[in-house]
Structure 1
């Protein structure tokens, strides 16, 4: 994690999937040390955020940028609203389906940023995501184990 703004502290970032359950994004060091989070193609993923607010924040938004492979960068921005001083607040973003197809599989760099209404970065979390191709018959599809 970097860029914690004054009066704002990001406590936890996680990805929630039916296939893999809750995957924790490491906030204490370079994303390369933790290794990539492994998610199967087509998985429905929801980002979970936990944070403390030291002063009221209006217009809080979460922006996620995913880059990697030969795919163009994908950026999503989710407005979260205003938060009073306090917390911890726990927010679960709307679920999104990951892309499907071998062309989309591979290693991605993901940067999540929390910004205030003026666009000032309050917190940032970087991690690696490995999108893997599903194997097996269509009825019993599984993702390879993250070994």
Structure 2
């Protein structure tokens, strides 16, 4: 007898645009690699999945922990999906924290549930945030405000 899963997670990835384009697949490898990302990078999570039944209210919960403490949990309602796929969803971009206190290894858990709260899938991975070279910290200092023109010589 074959058991058919209602939800199949095909891929979960991180996408960054600055300081240069980056795509990090978080699934794969045994053991999975720990991606190294610069502090302050702007990232979005990409999810690819397939369904064997219609789901009215698919929810993705992102739990972030460091040194055993949960720092943040975000719950995103992805919406309703029909049987089939693959479906690709990209979540809103977020900026990684900046500063010495925020560098290190983070434990990330992505959890999918349906509208009735039944767990469909869980993906766990790690992420290391490292110091960003000063040359790429263009967001760290605001550009100077335009001022009056200097005296002509």
TM-score, length of structure 1 as denominator length: 0.82
Which segments of structure 1 move beyond 4 Å, counting only runs of 4 or more? none
Q: Which residue of 2 aligns with 1:25?
A: 26
Match of 1:95 in 2: 93
Query: Whose relative contact order is higher, 1 or 2, with alpha carbons under 8 Å and at least 6 apart?
Result: 1
Match of 2:148 in 1: none
C-alpha displacement of 1:90: 0.6
- Alignment size in residue pairs: 132
Indicate the SS of the match to 1:80: strand
Please state if 1:141 is matched with 2:123: no
Looking at structure 2, the residues matched to 84 and 28 of structure 1 have their Cα atoms a distance apart, in angstroms, of: 30
For 1:134 and 1:71, the matched residues in 2 are separated by 24
| More deviation, 104-113/68-77 | 68-77
The answer to whether structure 1 residue 14 and structure 2 residue 9 are counterparts is no
RMSD over aligned Cα atoms: 1.9
Instruction: Say if 1:64 and 1:76, in contact at 8 Å, map to a contact too.
Output: yes
User: Larger C-alpha radius of gyration, 1 or 2?
Assistant: 2
Cα deviation code 1:74-96 (max 9, x no counterpart): 11111100001110101111111
Q: List alignment gaps of at least 5 residues for structure 1.
A: 143-147
Summarize the alignment of residues 66-85 of structure 1 with structure 2, pairs less than 5 Å apart: 66-69=64-67, 72-85=70-83
Listed one character per residue, the Cα deviations across residues 31-88 of structure 1 (whole Å, up to 9, x for unaligned) are xx22211111111110001111100001101111110148652111111000011101
Q: Secondary structure at the match of 1:103?
A: helix
Distance 1:47 1:120 in 2: 22
Match of 2:116 among 92, 108, 118: 118
Shift in CA distance, 87/70, structure 1 to aligned 2, threshold 3 Å: closer
Over 3 Å counting, the alpha-carbon distance change for 1:36 and 1:28 in structure 2 is closer
Q: Is the 8 A contact 1:27 1:125 kept in 2?
A: no
